[in-house]
Structure 1
Amino acid sequence: MTAVDELPARLTAIADATRELAAEAAIRDAEHILPTEQLRRLLDAGVGALRVPVEFGGSGASVRVLADVLIDIAAGDSNLAQIFRGHLGLTEILRSAPPGPARTTLLHDAAAGRFFGPAGAELNTTNLSALSTELRRSGDHYLLSGRKYYTTGSLYANWLNVLVRENGEFLSAIVPRETPGITIVDDWDGFGQRLTASGTAVFDQVRVDPEYVLHHHSSLTNDYMEAFYQFVHSATQAGITRAAADDLAAVVRGRTRSYPLASTPDPTGDPQVLQIVGEV
């Protein structure tokens, strides 16, 4: 049986894991309980392996399939859909990367349920062309130093994808999360999605294997990746919208009392109520 043949079973497992997300999502968000267990269940079910090519142990699923999964996850807990954004992005980059040891290892790891986290943006600039994080050669390896922010999901990661700019070129330095010199701080204080761990990552003379430095040469791939990252956002927003509509419908279904001048005694059939539901 191939991974493609196994996709329906994997999607069933993902649906089972997703079904449990909404029950305590509000409590987790209010009390800052990180969704570590929920993320692990989703990874074990195969969410992180969906776009991994079949030859590396993944499902080779389409972007359409991924969209449906992300919408379902976001409807249950939008933190988790957002947490997956960096992992899915690096997986997509690796799909089109040249063959090599790093590509092979990382795609096999994604298929096995290991997780990638991003470290791209920096607080001191809104322009990626002005990144201050440094990657310098030191003998047979590189040393990585800098401070990143908006590192969504990196607190949960096994590998970190660190964006640097050297000699006018963007590079990804990919390092194991537990490499000495790496500190991930859970200091994200945004208004919403407070459990995405989108805060600070510090890199202090972190050793990087040259095999794990990816060059972003292709303008076509770069353009595609910009669209792909926005696609993940859009799928997340679609899930949030669906959850809001479902919540509103549940409120309307639970109403038993109408008002004196209503056109019907049944509030679920009141045209004015239905108009508001339709607008949402």
Structure 2
Amino acid sequence: MPDISKFRGSALRLVSPYASSLGLAPAIEQIAKTAVEREVDHRLPHEEIAELKALGVGSLRLPKDTGGAGASLSELFSVARDLAAADSNIAHAFRNHLWQVEAALRQPEHPFHAHVLALAAKGKTVGLSFADSDAIAAGAPSSKVLSRIEWDEALQAYRGSGQKVYATGNLYNDAFVGLAVESRENAVVQYVLDRGDGVDGEDDWGGFGQKLTGSGTAKFNAATIPAKQIYPQDPTPREGAAPWRFTFHQVYLTNCIAGVARRIALDAVDVLRARGRNFYHGEADHPAAEPVLQAHLGRVRAYAAAIEATIDRTIASLQQAWDSHGTAAEYDAVLAASLSAAEAKVVTDDLAPQLASWLIDLGSGSVVSRKGALDRHWRNIKVIASHNPRLYKERLLGQNLLTGRLPPTGAFF
């Protein structure tokens, strides 16, 4: 059999050309190399995320003259997918920060958003602060702000206490943002709370996948908020503005799963090459020369490529929605992006777990060791997908075709 150990398929790469052009390839490749070790040892990726911050991942979308890379949305998602292919925990941990930057770029003159952008330009990331809600159903908007921050006269600052459940990424963030009623004027305000005393760094996340994202409960106990970091609310959206404000979040999660699919395809090559012997009833002496396994590898590659193409279509739609902001085309473009995100999710959430299962089929008993942690791909896919179950998306897509029903305007769309 010819020596194929030095060859790699021309269309299968861990790191995209754009990430390589930014000098991110060495860091991403090292993250990929050590992903299994972190998974098995449950080592939180503090150092890896700190390095990515220093390399500018959190400021990619900022203009070059303000410390960023001037990346387009498509380029941002390309880097995020590379990170997800390397380690989906790390890509997922950046989601809330990258959304805050995205929101800030819409109104950079507002002092709250200017603060967020300034933090991003310094290589810092922001997460979500404590939040009390009267909403009963998951994702439903709250009818009023219940969280409070109290003025401390002696400290000449505010203090706030509370919890944030599903606080993905908070373990690694430098500051936290939220809405609260402040005690002096009983007004609803936005604020930026810096990491420090009163911010609990405990990891209590017990999910069977995405174990290193810190997606448990963030606790704040009399955390200090300087008066200068209290800001007015955002202005009321203009009349006719599109009401779907959470599409970025959903596209980001599906994009992470697409990254996992790419990693499965890459791992599939290594798995097949590493197998030492074939079954006696096979057609070839070595598994890499076995026609049925070669075909199976081809199927994995094709499905992974199809998943990436599907989310690329949605990212292009989201870019159009972004470009249309404030114009007469905004409503239709944002609606199209929301529906496209739902379509991509339905397809990706269905196909990606199959890929993870096929990877085990390709390796048979030689890849079931816990030390190899190949089962993490299925677990990570299912946990990411569970944020926003596809069954509800399928129903909405069907109803939209039949009756023209529009997506809900709360979270998840």
Is TM > 0.5 for Structure 1 vs Structure 2?
yes
Q: How far apart in 1 are the matches of 2:209 and 2:215? A: 11
Letter in 1 for 2:148: L
Q: How far apart in 2 are the matches of 1:253 and 1:35? A: 29
In the alignment, what sits opposite 2:86? 76
Letter in 2 for 1:203: F
Q: State the shift of 1:216 in Å.
A: 7.1
Q: CA RMSD in A?
A: 3.4
Q: How far apart in 1 are the matches of 2:243 and 2:162? A: 23
Q: How far apart in 1 are the matches of 2:128 and 2:49? A: 16
Any idea what SS the aligned residue of 2:142 has?
Answer: helix
Report Cα offsets for 1:76-106 as digits up to 9, x if no partner: 1111001100110110111112513433333
1:233 aligns with 2:239: no
Q: How far apart in 1 are the matches of 2:190 and 2:20? A: 30
Q: Indicate conservation of the 8 Å contact 1:267/1:273, yes or no.
A: yes
User: Quick one: structure 1 residues 137 and 223, their matched pair in 2 at CA, closer, same or farther if it must change by over 3 Å?
Assistant: farther
Any idea what SS the aligned residue of 2:288 has?
Answer: helix
1:15 aligns with 2:51: no
Any idea what SS the aligned residue of 1:34 has?
Answer: coil
Q: Indicate conservation of the 8 Å contact 2:167/2:214, yes or no.
A: yes
Matches within 5 A, 1:119-138: 119=129, 126=138, 127-129=140-142, 133-135=146-148, 138=151
1:215 aligns with 2:234: yes
Matches within 5 A, 1:118-197: 118-119=128-129, 126=138, 127-129=140-142, 133-135=146-148, 138=151, 144-163=160-179, 172-178=190-196, 180-197=197-214
1:275 aligns with 2:275: no
Q: Which moved more, 1:235-244 or 1:96-105?
A: 96-105
- TM-score calculated relative to the size of structure 1: 0.81
Q: How far apart in 2 are the matches of 1:243 and 1:122? A: 38
Q: Indicate conservation of the 8 Å contact 1:131/1:165, yes or no.
A: no
Q: State the shift of 1:218 in Å.
A: 3.2
1:110 aligns with 2:129: no
Q: How far apart in 2 are the matches of 1:10 and 1:53? A: 19
In the alignment, what sits opposite 1:3? none
Q: Which moved more, 1:240-249 or 1:48-57?
A: 48-57
Letter in 2 for 1:183: D
Unpaired segments ≥5 residues, structure 2:
1-16, 183-187, 301-354, 356-413
In the alignment, what sits opposite 1:86? 96
Q: State the shift of 1:20 in Å.
A: 0.5
Unpaired segments ≥5 residues, structure 1:
1-6
Letter in 2 for 1:239: G
Report Cα offsets for 1:135-187 as digits up to 9, x if no partner: 35749976543221111111211111235599xxx975321122x54334311
Q: How many residues align?
A: 270
Any idea what SS the aligned residue of 1:185 has?
Answer: coil
Any idea what SS the aligned residue of 2:61 has?
Answer: coil
User: Quick one: structure 1 residues 130 and 51, their matched pair in 2 at CA, closer, same or farther if it must change by over 3 Å?
Assistant: same
Letter in 2 for 1:145: S
Any idea what SS the aligned residue of 1:203 has?
Answer: strand
In the alignment, what sits opposite 2:53? 43
Any idea what SS the aligned residue of 1:182 has?
Answer: coil
Matches within 5 A, 1:59-70: 59-70=69-80
Q: How far apart in 1 are the matches of 2:268 and 2:103? A: 39
Any idea what SS the aligned residue of 1:75 has?
Answer: helix
Letter in 2 for 1:258: N
Q: How far apart in 1 are the matches of 2:20 and 2:231? A: 29
Q: State the shift of 1:242 in Å.
A: 1.2
Q: Indicate conservation of the 8 Å contact 1:73/1:80, yes or no.
A: yes
Q: How far apart in 1 are the matches of 2:232 and 2:26? A: 37
Percent identity, please: 32
Q: Over alpha carbons, which structure has the higher Rg? A: 2
Q: Indicate conservation of the 8 Å contact 1:146/1:203, yes or no.
A: yes
User: Quick one: structure 1 residues 262 and 223, their matched pair in 2 at CA, closer, same or farther if it must change by over 3 Å?
Assistant: same
